[in-house]
Amino acid sequence: MVTLLYPPGVYRTEDDTDLLIGVMRRGSYAVDRRVLDIGTGSGALAIAAARAGATSVTAVDLSWRSVAATWMNSRLNRAAVSVRHGDLFAPVAGRRFELVVANPPYVPSESSVLPRHPIARAWDAGPDGRALLDRICAGAGDILTPNGDLLLVHSELSGTQRTLDALTEAGLRAQVLARASVPFGPVLRARSAMLESRGMIEPGQRIEKLVVIGARHG
């Protein structure tokens, strides 16, 4: 059993985190591999990778609160996780990993200006929800070892095919590994009118479809 503490401003694990962890465990992706968790939040993915047999786990987040939460939660759960502060791949520049996992912000927002407030920064990702997704797709090939894997979870609202195409353009072979349908959480419920007006959801739709996408060098 994993115990996680969530200081104010730190993203709480939801269905998307559980979906990615399930794929990682069923596929034994972390076993005997060096793992990088991008946008770690509370450290849930990093801790799951450590407990699933990773040889090393490095977790990165831009939020100092998330860095502190991951450090605290990894110690609380006796998981060997090295925590770094910084933007996406920058803190581990020059290193390569056999598994990269990411549950980045992907919720479409009103503005293209990303928020400064810590908790909104955990989900707001620009008008199309791809402010972080596109950057991860573009940089994943350079951080993976030749036989490494990327596991990335996000909402279909952000464009599943766009992610597959972006990873292909980056020289990776990508596919959908898992899907799940879940009720809208508080953020999407609050933005349902905006999403409807943009044609991103059907009128009255309150179910979100999640995908886990896997990618590796072709």
Work out the angle at residue 212's Cα, subtended by the Cα atoms of residues 89 and 103, and round it to the nearest 5 degrees. 40
Pick the residue with more confidence: 199 or 18? Answer: 18
What secondary structure letter does DSSP report for 33? S
Three-class secondary structure assignment of 150-206: EEEEEEHHHCHHHHHHHHHHCCEEEEEEEEEEEECCHHHHHCHHHHHHCCCCCCCCC
Pick the residue with more confidence: 198 or 84? Answer: 84
Question: For residues 24 and 98, is the Cβ–Cβ distance under 8 A?
Answer: no
Name the β-bridge partners of 208.
182
pLDDT value of residue 118: 57
Q: What predicted TM-score, i.e. pTM, was given to this entire model?
A: 0.93
Q: Is 94 exposed, middle or buried (0-12, 13-18, 19+ CB in 10 A)?
A: exposed
pLDDT value of residue 115: 63
Angle at which helices 64-76 and 44-51 cross, to 10° = 30
The class level of CATH for 15-217 reads: alpha beta
In this structure, which amino acid lies at residue 115? P
What pLDDT, in 10s, does the model give residues 37-59? 999 999 999 999 999 999 999 99
